[in-house]
Amino acid sequence: MLISIITVNYNNLSGLIRTGESVLNQSWQEFEFIVIDGGSTDGSKEYLESQDEKIKYWVSEPDNGIYSAMNKGIWEASGDYLFFLNSGDHFNDEDSLNAIQKHLKQFEVIYFNINIVNNGVSQILENPKTMSFEYLYNNLPCHQCTFIQKKAFDRIGSYDEGLKIVADWKWLILALLKHNASYLHVNDVFSTFYNDGVSSLEENQHLIQSEREKVLNSEFPIFMNDLKTIYKLKRVIRNLRKSKKINLLIRLGLLDKF
């Protein structure tokens, strides 16, 4: 089994070095390393040139955004599983791949938990064992903890370059809900994601919501009607839980806790 590790970079030399060292120093070496650089001017190209013998494929040229770069990586990849590790993110230690490679079989999408660093504070994010439309409405296992079979991209297609921020989310929700892609959650942590990317910036939250709503209304209009009803009922339940009269009835044993 071969893994394709794909790193996208643009003017983040220090992050690229951190990611590159994390990948190249793995004890389990059954992978190819692919780096797509968007024409950086900060020394990233020179670093890639210095690592040319260790990197299976790299390019430094202007592109049309992060998903354009990720698609370039997909098209160059020849591994059984593809794994995107953003410039700056890294494996937790040198044995990370060796520890988890045994899980990479059979399923089209395999996702783990992940260590997230936000403003210098680390926190383990546990992803759900079972997917649901309600969960995917606002979330997804980030690609820094997710392996996707190359044949799944061949079957479903690559990322939608017409979207600026949520194309990886769109791909996953379509893969699971429309194409019935097989998936597996592994309750383990092997990578670290720094919560400072474009999708994490507060000023981009409106665009994220707008792009997601566009995808959902186009692809799942009937599901959206059901989801709106569910959210209305949840608001009713939250308000009932705050009611003093309801809480009194629960304390008196006249009403079950809900």
Q: What is the pLDDT of residue 235?
A: 74
State pLDDT tens for residues 82-124: 999 999 999 999 999 999 999 999 999 999 999 999 888 999 9
Q: What is the pLDDT of residue 236?
A: 67
pLDDT band for 39, please (50, 70, 90 cuts): very high
Share of the chain above pLDDT 90, in %: 70
The domains found in the chain, sorted by start residue, are 3-219 (3.90.550.10), 221-258 (no CATH)
DSSP track, 6-51: EEEESS-HHHHHHHHHHHHT-S---EEEEEEE---SSSHHHHHHHT
State pLDDT tens for residues 169-217: 999 999 999 999 999 999 999 999 998 655 455 667 788 888 988 898 8
Helix (H, G, I), strand (E, B) or coil at 61: coil
* Alpha carbon separation from 133 to 10, 112, 159, 173, 206 (Å, rounded): 33, 19, 20, 8, 21
pLDDT band for 34, please (50, 70, 90 cuts): very high
pLDDT band for 249, please (50, 70, 90 cuts): low
Q: Determine how β-strand 31-37 pairs with β-strand 57-60.
A: parallel
Q: What is the pLDDT of residue 60?
A: 97
Tell me which amino acid residue 152 is: A
Of 15-24, 111-120, 129-138, least confident by mean pLDDT is 129-138
Helix (H, G, I), strand (E, B) or coil at 141: coil
pLDDT band for 248, please (50, 70, 90 cuts): low
161 close to 133: Cβ distance less than 8 angstroms = no
Helix (H, G, I), strand (E, B) or coil at 3: strand
Q: What is the pTM of this model?
A: 0.86
Q: 226 or 201, which is more confident?
A: 226
What does residue 182 show for φ and ψ, rounded to 5 degrees? -75, 145
